[in-house]
Amino acid sequence: MLYLVATPIGNLSDITFRAVEILKTCDVILCEDTRHSRPLLSHYGIDRPLRSYHKFNERARCEGLIAEMHEGKTFALISDAGTPGISDPGEIIVAACIDANIPVSATPGPCAAIQALTVSGLPTTLFQFIGFPPRKEQALKDAIIRILEYPGTTICYESARRITSTIALIADYAPTRQCCVARELTKRYEEFIRGTASEVLETLKSRDAIKGEIILILKGGNTNDHWSGLDAMDHVAILEKDYDLSRKEAIKLAAELRGMPKRELYKRNLKENPL
């Protein structure tokens, strides 16, 4: 049996009775970092064997863990903070357990992405979570354009060191897009910076330093209504203009957004704009 156990993201009181019970009674606790988890476990009088289970060893450890579970052992997986499997180890071992017909359960609890969304003031009916955005400049630009074209709210994590430059890029493309930067959730210096991308950027630039763990929430663009009635090549032209893209980049993005093969748009482009 495998349990995914959500743990506090800052405030030690944010853990359920059931989570503590499972951690006290399981055979082994799998920790993203045993040193990081010991203070929480000690706080609740939890004294069970610990094993490290992190992104650098999760694949290698899966087979052995599955074998032990088949023998009857119960494991609880915790990350450094929040819900396992959400930008933390968990996805691989859950899939392996399902393939091996081993029961998997989870205790509801803290998740920074969902908590930030619920207090952002932005729509919560339709949303996507993308983890951490790419680090390389061009890949980040591509990701931001896709986010701006998404009709629902987008949630992502970002480092304190990079949040200002990321918001600056968003403000370049969509200065009036509503967003929220959530910082240090459940901790002493919890903060929410809300406003348009331009307004949030000015607030961040006025700070001497940005510290802590960051969640960025960005309102959707409702762009399906904007292009659904457009001819595909007109859509390409709008993307070129709005995001300063090359024709090739705009064709690729338009095809992705419209769910059509790129080659169809390339053929049309050559037909309408022969060399």
pLDDT for 225 equals: 47
First to last CA, the chain: 63
Q: How many CB atoms lie within 10 A of CB 104?
A: 17
CATH of domain 113-221: 3.30.950.10
Q: Are strands 104-107 and 2-5 parallel, antiparallel or unpaired?
A: parallel
Residue 233: predicted pLDDT: 82
Question: Domain limits of the chain?
Answer: 2-110, 113-221, 224-272
For residue 223, the model assigns a pLDDT of: 54
CB 78 within 8 A of CB 29: yes
CATH number of 2-110: 3.40.1010.10
The sign of the dihedral angle between the CA atoms of 153, 156, 160, 161 is negative
Q: pLDDT tens digits for the chain (275 residues)?
A: 999 999 999 999 999 999 999 999 999 999 999 999 999 999 999 999 999 999 999 999 999 999 999 999 999 999 999 999 999 999 999 999 999 999 999 999 999 999 999 999 999 999 999 999 999 988 998 899 889 989 999 999 999 999 999 999 999 989 999 999 999 999 999 999 999 999 999 999 999 999 999 999 999 986 554 566 678 888 888 788 778 888 888 888 888 877 788 888 877 877 777 65
Tell me what pLDDT residue 228 has: 60
Residue 213, pLDDT score:
95
Q: Are 151 and 125 in contact (CB under 8 A)?
A: no
Closest CA to 53 of 36, 70, 29: 29
Please name the residues in contact with 71: beta carbons below 8 A apart, sequence gap of 6 or more.
none
pLDDT at residue 156, rounded to an integer: 97
Return d(Cα 178, Cα 242) in angstroms, integer: 18
HEC assignment per residue over the chain: CEEEECECCCCCCCCCHHHHHHHHHCCEEEECCHHHHHHHHHHCCCCCCEEECCCCCHHHHHHHHHHHHHCCCCEEEECCCECCCCCCCCHHHHHHHHHCCCCEEEECCCCHHHHHHHHHCCCCCCEEECCCCCCCHHHHHHHHHHHHHCCCEEEEEECCCCHHHHHHHHHHHCCCCEEEEEECCCCCCCEEEEEEHHHHHHHHHCCCCCCCCEEEEECCCCHHHHHCCCCHHHHHHHHHHHHCCCHHHHHHHHHHHHCCCHHHHHHHHHHHCCC
